[in-house]
Amino acid sequence: MPHFRKPLPLAVFGALLALLPSCRNLVDNYRYESPEKGKPSKGGSYAKISASAAKGTLLGLARQPVTTVVVGGAVLWQRPRELITGNFPGKREFRYAADQAPGTDGFEALLDKKDLPQPVGAKITWLVDGQRFYPELEREIRNARATIDVQAYIFDTDDVAVGIADLLKRRSAETQVRAVFDDLGSTSAAGDVPETPFPPGFKPPASMSRYLREGDSQVKVRSMLNPWLVCDHTKLHVFDSRVALMGCMNIGREYRSEWHDLMFRVEGSAVTELQRDYDRTWARTGPFGIVAGLRGHRRVPVNAPVSGEIPIRILRTDPAAWRYEIQKAMLLGIRAARQRIWIEDPYIANDDITEALKDAAKRGVEVRVIYPDDNDSKIMDIANRAFANDLVEAGGKAYAYPGMTHLKAMICDDWACVGSANLDTLSMRINRELNIAFRGKAAVNELISKVFTPDLARSKRHVREKQPGGALVEAVADQL
């Protein structure tokens, strides 16, 4: 159990913090003004966000009462839980056998014992930054023959997103095209001003949902409602049930050209499971919500294995289904690691994760964490740097990546976990997320060579620094 790290009187804020929204845009000016760099403020439209939040809860109760009640109960439990466990006294002891180090057969057996999803075969191709991902996305949309299924947390209204929308609309005359995105995430992003200017004469549409339906479009569009301000943070695109693109990037200008980020291409047997996952998401965005998952879905052709497959586990955070597989797998990896834990993530605030990382550093594991030097969230920037101070004191190493890195990747010995989930309470316990986990020296070394080696070389070593805000800022960050 965690020891005391914050003054116990902070627990009195529990009832208020339990009501904090599940999209940090509403607590923190999402892309805040940086006085040092003179960047323009890019906070979203709070009127639109508030309207979206009210709509999500009221429509959710009317259309999907079971889903809305289940999600509300999960949030009501998970919010105070983070405060309580973060202040509860006691000593943590986690013991693992020598053959349970991440990457070993023993560790895989441990994951099986914890009822995590069984491995399926997949060939993984890393797509680092928008220069690699967006041409791949456009190529797959153009080449699809039967079905195009797109899901993002944010489908923006900027020129990059409109370009993707126009391509989907053109292809909808020849193929079945479905697009689903988070209502609150997309609404808040639509009010932001990009770091780089729009092309001359470009005017963003008022609504991406409406824009995707306009003209001769046959695109089927659904938005994920946000009861209790819970978001769906998933990024998954599936083409002909044959190829999937997934990872950390949304659809918009930041992800194509402004931020450092990561997606990956999946081929082989696992795409069958990813297509089924998308179909479940599509069903639950309909009028029957999570109850639709109890009904039958269209049959998905089973993909044959392809050359270069490795076994991966497809992991979810989904409070409506009481699935917390990503945090469970990550904590097992961190606590069982013997040699190294390398992480790159923009938001590091979940108490279970941060305490486990400090424990690992104290027992001699090489813990390296990369965080963005120019974060888009002021509160999370403070939380990251406060954790970096604690990690360095515990014997670990932290690095500030120049600019904004939005990718989320973790390596524990010879095992890795990558996807949409941040190392914060939202991703671990509240919002819907999608990750994969895999093992093997060759597969992990490829991730190291594509991401960690160049990013560590570019980043500046963190030295202990005084952080503003104190315990109250940490308590708020714990809830985000």
Report how many domains make up the chain: 1
Q: Is residue 174 part of a domain?
A: yes
Per the prediction, the chain carries an average pLDDT of 85
83 CB-near residues (< 8 Å, 6+ apart): 10, 11, 13, 14, 17, 475, 478, 479
Q: Which of 7-21, 43-57, 117-131 has the highest mean pLDDT?
A: 117-131
More confident residue, 393 or 21: 393
Environment class of residue 311 by beta-carbon count within 10 Å: exposed (0-12), middle (13-18) or buried (19+)?
middle
Average pLDDT value for residue range 268-293? 84
Quote the domain boundaries for residue 195.
Answer: 120-310
pLDDT of 157 reads 96
CATH number at residue 126: 3.30.870.10
Structure tokens at 419: 């996807």
In this predicted structure, which of 80-84, 246-250, 326-330, 353-357 has the lowest mean pLDDT?
80-84
For residues 464 and 391, what is the distance between their CA atoms, to the nearest angstrom? Answer: 10
Give the burial string for 27-61 (b: 16+ CB within 10 Å, else e). bbbbbbeeeeeeeeebbbeeeebeebbebbbeebe
pLDDT of 162 reads 97
Average pLDDT value for residue range 318-337? 95
* Tokens 């965690």 -> residue: 2
* Tokens 């797959």 -> residue: 140
Direct distance between the N- and C-terminal alpha carbons of the chain, in angstroms, rounded to an integer: 21
Positive/negative CA dihedral, 100, 101, 105, 111: positive
For residues 151 and 233, what is the distance between their CA atoms, to the nearest angstrom? Answer: 9
12 — pLDDT class (breaks 50, 70, 90)? very low
Q: Are the C-beta atoms of 430 and 230 separated by less than 8 Å? A: yes
Q: Is residue 284 part of a domain?
A: yes
* Tokens 């939380």 -> residue: 383
In this predicted structure, which of 120-124, 382-386, 469-473 has the lowest mean pLDDT?
469-473
Average pLDDT value for residue range 52-80? 69
More confident residue, 234 or 97: 234
pLDDT of 390 reads 94
Average pLDDT value for residue range 46-71? 67
Q: Is residue 409 part of a domain?
A: no
Average pLDDT value for residue range 283-287? 81
Give 451-470 pLDDT, tens digit per residue. 999 999 999 999 887 766 55
pTM of the model: 0.87
- How far are the Cα atoms of 111, 409, 411 from residue 450, in angstroms, in the given order? 27, 12, 13
pLDDT of 41 reads 39
For residues 271 and 146, what is the distance between their CA atoms, to the nearest angstrom? Answer: 15
In this predicted structure, which of 15-29, 109-123, 363-377 has the lowest mean pLDDT?
15-29
In this predicted structure, which of 247-256, 317-326, 453-462 has the lowest mean pLDDT?
317-326
Residue 18 reports pLDDT greater than 50: no
pLDDT of 78 reads 66
Q: Which of 18-32, 123-137, 275-289, 377-391 has the highest mean pLDDT?
A: 123-137
pLDDT of 101 reads 97
Q: Is residue 288 part of a domain?
A: yes
Q: Are the C-beta atoms of 187 and 231 separated by less than 8 Å? A: no
Average pLDDT value for residue range 95-117? 95
Q: Is residue 124 part of a domain?
A: yes
pLDDT of 50 reads 63
pLDDT of 1 reads 34
> Which residues sit opposite 227 in a β-bridge?
none
Average pLDDT value for residue range 350-362? 95
pLDDT of 284 reads 85
pLDDT of 477 reads 53
Task: Give me Rg for the CA atoms of the chain.
Answer: 21
Residue 471 reports pLDDT greater than 70: no
For residues 372 and 370, what is the distance between their CA atoms, to the nearest angstrom? Answer: 7
pLDDT of 167 reads 98
Residue 42 reports pLDDT greater than 80: no
Residue 231 reports pLDDT greater than 60: yes
In the chain, the amino acid numbered 477 is A
In the chain, the amino acid numbered 460 is K
The 3-class secondary structure across the chain, one letter per residue, is CCCCCCCHHHHHHHHHHCCCCCCHHHCCCCCCCCCCCCCCCCCCCHHHHHHHHHHHHHHHHHHCHHHHHHHHHHHHHHHHHHHHHHHCCCCCCCCCCHHHCCCCHHHHHHHHHCCCCCCEEEEEEEEECHHHHHHHHHHHHHHCCCEEEEEECCECCCHHHHHHHHHHHHHCCCCEEEEEEEHHHHHHHHCCCCCCCCCCCCCCCCCHHHHHHCCCCCCEEEEECCHHHCCECCCEEEECCCEEEEECCCECHHHHHHCECEEEEEECCHHHHHHHHHHHHHHHCCCCHHHHHHCCCCCCCCCCCCCCCEEEEEEEEEHHHCEEHHHHHHHHHHHHCCCEEEEECCCECCHHHHHHHHHHHHCCCEEEEEEECCCCCHHHHHHHHHHHHHHHHHCCEEEEECCCECCCEEEECCEEEEECCCECHHHHHHCEEEEEEEECHHHHHHHHHHHHHHHHHHCEECCCCCCCCHHHHHHHHHCC
Average pLDDT value for residue range 439-451? 97
For residues 326 and 314, what is the distance between their CA atoms, to the nearest angstrom? Answer: 9
pLDDT of 464 reads 81
Average pLDDT value for residue range 20-24? 51
pLDDT of 421 reads 98
Give 69-105 pLDDT, tens digit per residue. 777 777 777 666 665 665 555 567 788 988 999 999 9
Q: Is residue 268 part of a domain?
A: yes
For residues 175 and 164, what is the distance between their CA atoms, to the nearest angstrom? Answer: 15
- Percent of the chain residues past pLDDT 90, beyond the cut: 64
pLDDT of 239 reads 98
In this predicted structure, which of 93-107, 125-139, 266-280, 290-304 has the lowest mean pLDDT?
290-304
- How far are the Cα atoms of 81, 180, 293 from residue 288, in angstroms, in the given order? 30, 16, 9
Q: Is residue 328 part of a domain?
A: no
Average pLDDT value for residue range 246-251? 98
39 — pLDDT class (breaks 50, 70, 90)? very low
More confident residue, 419 or 82: 419
Q: Is residue 354 part of a domain?
A: no
Residue 47 reports pLDDT greater than 90: no
pLDDT of 203 reads 94
In this predicted structure, which of 225-229, 243-247, 251-255, 393-397 has the lowest mean pLDDT?
225-229
For residues 254 and 109, what is the distance between their CA atoms, to the nearest angstrom? Answer: 40
36 — pLDDT class (breaks 50, 70, 90)? very low
